[in-house]
Structure 1
């Protein structure tokens, strides 16, 4: 090898190394944001997370890469909350478990028959003293930075017999999840609560172990409950929202401009999720009617009145501000 050839070879090698190092530096400069959710793909949750990904990657000019994980790919809610607490992952669209774990004294949104519409739920969380306190103590106790709630469709009843008033619930065998406050409220209404796992709902109805259950319309539609149930009673007793949260240690390490951009991206994404959820809820309603289920649009006031003693028990141990903030949230959104 002559001197000229050797110099060219070394120059080419140096250029190759420099290019490789440049690529590595670029890859390292691109921050990865993992966003977790436990629901399977195809729902309004995934739609919102994908919209978030689109917005962030576009507005950050590629400095952020967003990876969306549906179906609990990296753990259930509790496991992901722990990862967020430790700063080992970045974000989640999570359920209400964190409020029970970190801020139970401000958790009114998990109690049935409290909020009559989605606007009241959102107002309570985002605008009231109790909602702000919930966000603060979740940060102090769980290292969670709270960004905002995302609507899930209101839950209703399905039933074999027709239900027109709370009197018709007396002795009705109703499937409920293992959530004590839900069981207590429904038993106040007169049902005989039967706690069984969600995958067993269809069989339990087919065999007569239960005659009713409660959930959003996705449940009777995806489980084809028209084969074992006749009625849907629009009790609208609970909207159990998703919540956009971030790991506080990670969030606090971002600069202010990035925090503002990500916050705005979340607000746009959860609005998109809201719209998709409404579309899907209407789709389920039409599909259930087409398959023979009858909707009974009951007067909800008597149900709320009869459930009131159990609701009051559930709220009795909450923070002093909660009762007034519930009333304020309902008043601020009356007519929605």
Structure 2
């Protein structure tokens, strides 16, 4: 028995040594490594864009730069990963402006209702000198570096278990939304009761009737199989979900200048790729959801647009909204 245990212990030790050697070899193969976290699933167009970024950086750096992608928030909630980045960790997260607004309030306007039309409209905002100034403020305020902010996930719509055509139809409806003030105020203005909740909790919450509805972009709703727990998708397009790839400024500053340039250029190119892929995929997702029993309805969004018009003023974005409106003319 004793000999048997010694053999097992020796085998375990050798296995651990082999694993450590393999990990060390992998670490030596790449001088630089970035771990990217996203709440989305591996079949989402945004994830496909991250894969493109990974492959392009590996190619461009001759294997010296390695990107690892973690879907389904494996590294933690967005807020947790942002804190890791603040501490200087080699992590990045696909995140919306609302979660950055706690550091620089201007970012919150990106989640405002009916801000711009489609990807082309919102891309104009996030590649402007105005946005660059926000990014510099973020770097100073929180130690975060924006690699690119052109990762468009689509327009957000209402997923409910009853038909909706006007704000009054949402009275008393508990609707999941992210916890940022601009999202909460928008959903409240649309007539529902905003219920902040992590994305991973949405499906069971709908299943258990802890919430009545959710607002989300089509690719994410499809990827999370929300067609199994909702009956209607009303196309309000109330928020144009634009997200960014945000990392640690301290970690980024430790990269060679050519690597910094490559990472930003490839992040922008990958964001465009992911966003265009999203545009192309939405129609397919909608057809599949309809085939699975979801009633998809186009409505006149004017009542919702009018109901949410005061959100910008309530949150102190009135003047900024005017500036953006002028930019988009």
Please state whether the residue corresponding to 1:123 is helix, strand or coil.
helix
8 A Cα contact 1:158 1:212, kept in partner:
yes
Tell me the equivalent position of 2:239: 238
Q: Describe the superposition over 1:74-125 as per-residue Cα deviations: whole angstroms up to 9, x where unpaired.
A: 3332232233223221544334465123112442012233333222322222
Displaced runs of 4+ in structure 1, greater than 6 A? 24-27, 206-209
Tell me the equivalent position of 1:148: 148
Tell me the equivalent position of 1:221: 222
Q: Which has the larger radius of gyration?
A: 1
1:140: Cα distance to partner?
0.2
1:41: Cα distance to partner?
2.9
Tell me the equivalent position of 1:33: 33
RMSD, aligned CA: 3.2
8 A Cα contact 1:148 1:244, kept in partner:
yes
1:326 aligns with 2:327: no
Q: Describe the superposition over 1:285-312 as per-residue Cα deviations: whole angstroms up to 9, x where unpaired.
A: 0111112322221122331112212342
Tell me the equivalent position of 1:76: 77
| Residue correspondences, number | 303
Runs of 5+ consecutive residues of structure 2 not aligned to the other structure: 1-23
Please state whether the residue corresponding to 1:68 is helix, strand or coil.
strand
- In 2, the alpha carbon distance for the partners of 1:326 and 1:284 equals 31
Please state whether the residue corresponding to 2:188 is helix, strand or coil.
helix
- In 2, the alpha carbon distance for the partners of 1:70 and 1:224 equals 16
- In 1, the alpha carbon distance for the partners of 2:288 and 2:114 equals 26
1:55 aligns with 2:53: no
8 A Cα contact 1:172 1:212, kept in partner:
no
Higher strand share: 2
8 A Cα contact 2:36 2:67, kept in partner:
no
Q: Describe the superposition over 1:4-56 as per-residue Cα deviations: whole angstroms up to 9, x where unpaired.
A: xxxxxxxxxxxxxxxxxxxx999758422213113243322321221111111
Please state whether the residue corresponding to 2:272 is helix, strand or coil.
helix
Q: Describe the superposition over 1:244-284 as per-residue Cα deviations: whole angstroms up to 9, x where unpaired.
A: 22322232233332222222211221122113323442232
Structure 1 56/195 Cα, relative in aligned 2: closer, same or farther at 3 Å? closer
TM-score (norm 1): 0.76
- In 1, the alpha carbon distance for the partners of 2:110 and 2:184 equals 16
8 A Cα contact 1:231 1:293, kept in partner:
yes
Tell me the equivalent position of 1:103: 104
Q: Describe the superposition over 1:165-211 as per-residue Cα deviations: whole angstroms up to 9, x where unpaired.
A: 34544x25242336344333333333345566656656666677755
Q: Describe the superposition over 1:49-79 as per-residue Cα deviations: whole angstroms up to 9, x where unpaired.
A: 2111111111222232333333333333223
Structure 1 249/268 Cα, relative in aligned 2: closer, same or farther at 3 Å? same
- In 2, the alpha carbon distance for the partners of 1:119 and 1:51 equals 21
